[in-house]
């Protein structure tokens, strides 16, 4: 009889352990959710990149579906679709990382050589960017616009150097997005001339590399 009682006590103990394991997992999930919502309430402006990272962390911790969308993810999904033809032609790339969504337009897809006026096709593309942002009304995304050139000098009455050209290009995109309803306080323009090349403009002998120079002539939009 003593053996039987011991066996029964073991079964009861095992059953209690299973219940405790379940309760601990549930408590962990509730704690994570509470921490998440408290952090959301603790700031007046939610950082969408941070939100993206936190949501991914919660998703992995509580074992939810890997296809859950976040605000930045929704915008990227929309832009991937809206700019599919341009992506296929190599006119724009769309990536998402720690800086948020990064759209990189080749300069020739937006401006004529040596000019800062936005072309008709580029205006249509900027309309798509503005529309995708405005669709997510409950998030106040910011956009940094960067102008980049190659190392070929420019010297005109309007643009004495590549600095003026790159700044004017970024500024004109800012103005266009403001006209499409994006508040000015959410926009920032910067021109870098040829100081941040993606690839070397010249080879080891100082000879120009035209393919690399084309890569370096670009407009970058960072949505975050």
- pLDDT tens sequence across 37-51: 656 655 545 455 555
**120 and 16 both lie in a single domain:** no
Spans in the chain with pLDDT lower than 70: 1-69
**Domain hosting residue 49, numbered range:** 2-61
Task: Examine residue 66 and state whether it is found in any structural domain, yes or no.
Answer: no
- pTM across the whole model: 0.72
Give the chain's domain count.
2
Q: What is the pLDDT of residue 47?
A: 53
What region, left, alpha or beta, does residue 99 occupy, with left being phi > 0 and alpha being psi -120 to 50 degrees? Answer: alpha
Q: What is the pLDDT of residue 119?
A: 94
**9 and 27 both lie in a single domain:** yes
């Amino acid at each position: 009889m003593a053996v039987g009682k011991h066996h029964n006590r073991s079964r009861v103990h095992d059953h209690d352990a299973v219940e405790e394991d379940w309760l601990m997992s549930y408590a962990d999930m509730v704690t994570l959710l509470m921490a998440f919502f408290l952090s959301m309430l603790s700031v007046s402006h939610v950082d969408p990149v941070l939100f993206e990272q936190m949501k991914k962390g919660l998703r992995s911790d509580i074992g939810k579906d890997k296809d859950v969308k976040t605000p930045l993810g929704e915008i990227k999904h929309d832009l991937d679709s809206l700019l599919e033809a341009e992506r296929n032609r190599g006119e724009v790339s769309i990536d998402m990382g720690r800086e948020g969504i990064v759209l990189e337009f080749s300069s020739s897809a937006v401006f004529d050589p040596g000019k800062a006026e936005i072309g008709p096709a580029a205006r249509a593309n900027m309309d798509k960017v503005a529309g995708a942002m405005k669709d997510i009304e409950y998030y106040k995304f910011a956009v940094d616009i960067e102008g980049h050139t190659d190392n070929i000098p420019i010297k005109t009455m309007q643009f004495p150097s590549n600095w003026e050209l790159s700044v004017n290009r970024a500024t004109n995109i800012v103005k266009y997005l403001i006209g499409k309803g994006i508040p000015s306080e959410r926009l920032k323009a910067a021109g870098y001339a040829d100081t941040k090349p993606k690839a070397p403009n010249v080879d080891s002998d100082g000879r120009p590399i035209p393919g690399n120079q084309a890569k370096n002539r670009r407009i970058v939009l960072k949505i975050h």
